[in-house]
Structure 1
Amino acid sequence: MTELRPGELTCPSPEDTLESDMDCDRPIFSVSAGGPKRAGGAGAPSPAAAAAASDAESGVFSVGCELCAEHDSELDWFCGTERKLICVRCASVGSCQGHAVFPLAARVTAVRNRLVDVCEKIQLQALRIEKFIDHTLAAKEQNLQAAASRAREQVLARVGAAREALEEEEQRLLEEVHREEERVEQCLLTQRAHWSQALASLSQTRSHLVHTLTHTPDAQLVTSVQEIDERVEESEGVGEPCDTEQLSLNPGCSHSQLLRALWTTAVLLGPSARGSPQLKFDRRTVSPLLSVSEDSCTLTFLHRKPRQSPCYDPARFDYWPNALGSPAMSSGTHSWVVDVGQSGAFKVGVCYAALERKGSGNQARLGHNGQSWVLSHYDGEYSFCHAGAKVPLPLVRRPGRIGLLLDWDSHTLLFYEPDSAAVLHAVQQRFSAPLLAAFAVTDRSITIVH
């Protein structure tokens, strides 16, 4: 056998090609109990083959147990280029000359070390997974049961407190309505008794005067003037009946801050909460000082006056920077949200369709007449405006969006903050005509949010 001298072969470190070699489909090394027959042993296994077989049975794999078919030399080298076992002559003068080769024993040692490392890592990973299952997940299951139980108790406690408060408020309001009903009934009975007696007295006086007129002789009639005057004075003293608020149920008897807050929250956040997706700016009403987006949902203030005024339209505001929404609202419950985060000066609210559109007077100015109700933000201050009266609204923070809720049946208009459902201002007003959403802006833009 020719000895392999240093410098004749390229022998990379086993670790350099270990990872790429492990991807090979064929075995990195092979073990065989038999091999090419040597001359002199008719079918008898060689000592190396017998040793390999013994090692295979014991679980210890041996190298150098096969012979090269071409050179009849022991396959104790490994060709990394062709990924096969070779002998020393294959590497020096054979088909693998110039390839990356290295001793098989070193390769086997590197692979075994790598497998030991991999097995240790797998074992550690398995231990971590086992610990995660036995400790972390088990603890999470226990915590889940405790947390779910606390959450249920919290829900029941809060709903119970709300239900108890609502039941108490319900009882108080029903008693208040009942007392108010009894008061009005007593007033009605008193008025009925008084005016029934007055009616009887008037009827008796009239009958007496008619009898005097028709049956008293002229001479006696002249002498009865004083008696007639007394009867007339008595009838005039009865007075005229007058309808007063005391004869009607006071609507304030059913008003409750708690009930209104709960009702508002239910309407705004409950399962049936809904907005008005069809609400948009009516282009016919938009002031020349404003521009409206293509989707009719954003209103922008124009810092420069447009060169050409739009064509005349009786519905258009020609002086104040106003615009109205459509459609009109005359029944049911309606809510919509306006994004005002970019504007420092705006108004949002409602108005009658008959609101004046022309001129610089207060009749066309939102919040300065009896036909509009708006929340206004100017100079950093918030206020509610109606009929020229201003109610300051001391808000803790500047809302980025403002919501409006109109409940026609209960004659209620609410301005609220959508993020917290906090009521900013409430209006109790018996509206007498259909309402339109009303807007004004003199800084940047506002947008109807759908």
Structure 2
Amino acid sequence: MAASIGASSRVWVLLGRSVSALHRQPVGLSATRSFVSTSTINNLQFRLDERTAHSSLDLFKKDTGVIYRMLGLDPSHVPNNPERFRDWAVVFGDEEISGGRHYWEVTVKKSWEFRVGVAEALMSRDDCVGTNGSSWVFGYAQRKWFAMTNNKMVPVTLVGKPDRVGILLDFEAGVLGLVDAEKPRIIHTMKARFKTPLCPAFGLWNGELLTHSGLEEPQRLK
């Protein structure tokens, strides 16, 4: 069974940590302004990698969507891949990113507890995305958004919940942005030093997510 963190106050006290400013990866760099760099723009195309999916997650729509099953499968009934997440309902995209500027979107309207972002391809499969220094995510729980890395959360000011959000990654600039895809506009950015290949990363504890890759970055964000 997946470890769920959505009831009552469980997200805001995950592993006993309180909401605070990020230390090594500061968050909150110009929440509504686009960022500019000289990185090469790429139309990243990926699917979800079943080899990494926790046993409570089912992939659908040609591995572009993921749905959470509360009971899930007995872990002994899925292939024992070393890439698979063992304790947390997490799945990675099947493409690694080692440079450039990339944009993809996620339909989130059918979930009320999730995390979306990036993680180092070699991140420990015993951890959850956002709880270590190898992953950078934007999450939603208890009707609130937050940015998270290294187990530190920062609230993200956002009115309501878009049906679809975008993720804008600039590897060389070390910037990850959360985008309201319906506007479009950058809601919040995180700053980090990306040193090793990254993968699109997703955590899910309710409902379903649908990914959309191979997209052009919206002109208004450039």
TM-score, normalising length: structure 1: 0.38
TM-fit CA distance, 1:422: 2.0
Deviates more, 1:306-315 or 1:321-330: 306-315
Q: Which residue of the other structure, out of 192, 197, 207, is the alignment partner of 1:444? A: 207
TM-fit CA distance, 1:294: 4.7
Query: Aligned letter for 1:327?
Result: E
1:79-101: per-residue Cα shift (whole Å, max 9, x none)? xxxxxxxxxxxxxxxxxxxxxxx
1:101-132: per-residue Cα shift (whole Å, max 9, x none)? xxxxxxxxxxxxxxxxxxxxxxxxxxxxxxxx
TM-fit CA distance, 1:394: 2.1
- 1:253-268 equivalences under 5 Å are 257=30, 261-263=33-35
TM-fit CA distance, 1:329: 0.5
1:303-328: per-residue Cα shift (whole Å, max 9, x none)? 22325620201000011000001210
After superposition, the Cα gap between the structure-2 partners of 1:311 and 1:384, relative to the gap in structure 1 and judged at 3 Å, is same
Q: Name the structure 1 match of 2:135.
A: 372
Q: Name the structure 2 match of 1:283.
A: 50
The structure where strand makes up a greater share of residues is 2
Q: Name the structure 1 match of 2:20.
A: none
TM-score, normalising length: structure 2: 0.75
Task: Work out the CA distance in 2 between the residues paired with 1:371 and 1:330.
Answer: 14
Q: Name the structure 2 match of 1:331.
A: 99
Task: Work out the CA distance in 1 between the residues paired with 2:137 and 2:179.
Answer: 12
Task: Work out the CA distance in 2 between the residues paired with 1:331 and 1:274.
Answer: 9
After superposition, the Cα gap between the structure-2 partners of 1:257 and 1:398, relative to the gap in structure 1 and judged at 3 Å, is closer
Task: Work out the CA distance in 1 between the residues paired with 2:62 and 2:186.
Answer: 29
TM-fit CA distance, 1:261: 2.4
Task: Work out the CA distance in 2 between the residues paired with 1:275 and 1:302.
Answer: 31
Q: Name the structure 2 match of 1:295.
A: 62
After superposition, the Cα gap between the structure-2 partners of 1:443 and 1:397, relative to the gap in structure 1 and judged at 3 Å, is same
Helix, strand or coil at the partner of 2:211 = strand
Task: Work out the CA distance in 2 between the residues paired with 1:309 and 1:376.
Answer: 29
After superposition, the Cα gap between the structure-2 partners of 1:442 and 1:325, relative to the gap in structure 1 and judged at 3 Å, is same
Q: Which residue of the other structure, out of 397, 410, 413, is the alignment partner of 2:173? A: 410
Query: Aligned letter for 1:296?
Result: D
Q: Name the structure 2 match of 1:394.
A: 157
Q: Name the structure 1 match of 2:110.
A: 342
- 1:190-269 equivalences under 5 Å are 257=30, 261-263=33-35
Q: Name the structure 2 match of 1:428.
A: 191
Query: Aligned letter for 1:261?
Result: R
Aligned pair 1:321/2:83, yes or no? Answer: no
1:237-265: per-residue Cα shift (whole Å, max 9, x none)? xxxxxxxxxxxxxxxxxxx959x82546x
The structure where helix makes up a greater share of residues is 1
TM-fit CA distance, 1:419: 1.2
**Count of aligned pairs:** 183
Higher relative contact order, structure no. (Cα contacts within 8 Å, ≥ 6 residues apart): 2
- 1:22-41 equivalences under 5 Å are none
Aligned pair 1:381/2:144, yes or no? Answer: yes
After superposition, the Cα gap between the structure-2 partners of 1:392 and 1:297, relative to the gap in structure 1 and judged at 3 Å, is same
Query: Aligned letter for 1:299?
Result: V
Q: Which runs of 4+ in 1 moved over 6 A?
A: none
TM-fit CA distance, 1:284: 0.4
TM-fit CA distance, 1:446: 0.1
Task: Work out the CA distance in 2 between the residues paired with 1:371 and 1:355.
Answer: 6
Whether the 8 Å contact between 2:138 and 2:178 is mirrored in structure 1 is yes
Helix, strand or coil at the partner of 2:187 = strand
Task: Work out the CA distance in 2 between the residues paired with 1:283 and 1:420.
Answer: 32
CA RMSD of aligned residues (A): 2.4
Q: Which runs of 5+ in 2 are unaligned?
A: 1-28, 214-222
TM-fit CA distance, 1:407: 1.1
TM-fit CA distance, 1:420: 1.1
After superposition, the Cα gap between the structure-2 partners of 1:419 and 1:287, relative to the gap in structure 1 and judged at 3 Å, is same
Larger Rg: 1
Helix, strand or coil at the partner of 1:281 = coil
Helix, strand or coil at the partner of 1:326 = coil
TM-fit CA distance, 1:275: 4.1
Task: Work out the CA distance in 2 between the residues paired with 1:294 and 1:396.
Answer: 30
Task: Work out the CA distance in 2 between the residues paired with 1:388 and 1:352.
Answer: 15
Task: Work out the CA distance in 1 between the residues paired with 2:202 and 2:88.
Answer: 11
Q: Which runs of 5+ in 1 are unaligned?
A: 1-255, 359-363
TM-fit CA distance, 1:415: 1.0
